[in-house]
Amino acid sequence: MRKKLVAGNWKMHGSLAENAALLGAIKPALAGIEAAVCVPFPYLAQAQAALAGSSIAWGAQNLSEQVKGAFTGEVSAAMLVDFGCQYVIVGHSERRSLYGETDELVAKKYMAAQAAGLIPILCVGESLAEREAGVTETVVARQLDAVISAAGVASLAKAVVAYEPVWAIGTGKTATPEQAQAVHAFIRSKIAALDAGVATGLVIQYGGSVKAANAGELFSQPDIDGGLIGGASLVADEFIAICRAAAK
Ligand code: PGA
């Protein structure tokens, strides 16, 4: 059976004091449960110190597609590895829409992550206008194809995909379990057409207003293998409950 994985996406939230309280609460509560937190760059060392030796992995929310050099303000995959990161989010809708990240750039970041040994959490998902226009599958397929044509389908054996409908992110409007399952099944079947083994093993997370109250129902869908959690990952009791729902 595929594992389920819950990852927190803290976005641009936190402080040394707030993080210490949050990490201090989730670490003992999630002992033995595999989970991850993707924290802002300056707090990677704090996450590493707090979580080393626990079942909770840590990672970043973005990285440079470049290896090293004169790229002021950028952070490389090797730097993330230096701080013990296991995961890095690539192609989050906020990066795509607010910072102009194209499918091609996302594919380069995905490859840079894997080249350094990181597991990319590749985010895909449609906007509200795209859903209403009936092009959800077209959009998700295009986002996946950019990565598959650049890195190959086999690369997905060392990646996580997160389906995050943009209209559900931070809006309190969750996709219904049926809506999410339909897209997850589409993603898996699309990949299965290229490589059945990779498709069967691929962890496909759902993201978008997941909370303790709806996590169990979402995670019980056959193709939903955990979640990428924004707002609720900042609330210890919520995140703990969501991770426990995935571990059931
Ligand atoms: P949300 O964010 O859980 O706050 O909707 C999810 C995400 O953007 O990863």
Q: What are the structural domains, with CATH classification, of the chain?
A: 5-247 (3.20.20.70)
User: What pLDDT is stored for residue 173 in this prediction?
Assistant: 87
Q: What is the model's pTM?
A: 0.98
d(CA 244, CA 238): 10
Span from the CA of 70 to the centroid of ligand 1 (angstroms): 32
Per residue in 91-107, pLDDT (tens digit) is: 999 999 999 999 999 99
Arithmetic mean of pLDDT over the chain: 97
| Ligand 1 proximity of 204 Cβ (cutoff 6 Å) | no
With a pLDDT cut of 70, the percent of the chain lying above it is 100
Which residues, at least 6 apart from 243, have a Cβ–Cβ distance to it below 8 Å? 6, 26, 30, 33, 35
With a pLDDT cut of 90, the percent of the chain lying above it is 97
| Ligand 1 proximity of 162 Cβ (cutoff 6 Å) | no
Nearest C-alpha neighbor of 83 from the set 40, 120, 131, 134 = 40
What's the whole-number mean pLDDT along residues 26-34?
A: 97
Q: Which atom of ligand 1 is nearest to the CA of 172?
A: 5
DSSP alpha helix (H) spans, the chain: 16-29, 44-51, 77-82, 93-98, 103-115, 128-132, 136-151, 177-192, 196-201, 212-219, 236-247
Span from the CA of 69 to the centroid of ligand 1 (angstroms): 32
- Determine whether 34 is an active site residue: no
| Ligand 1 proximity of 228 Cβ (cutoff 6 Å) | yes
| Ligand 1 proximity of 229 Cβ (cutoff 6 Å) | yes
Q: Which of 65, 94, 130, 164 is catalytic?
A: 164
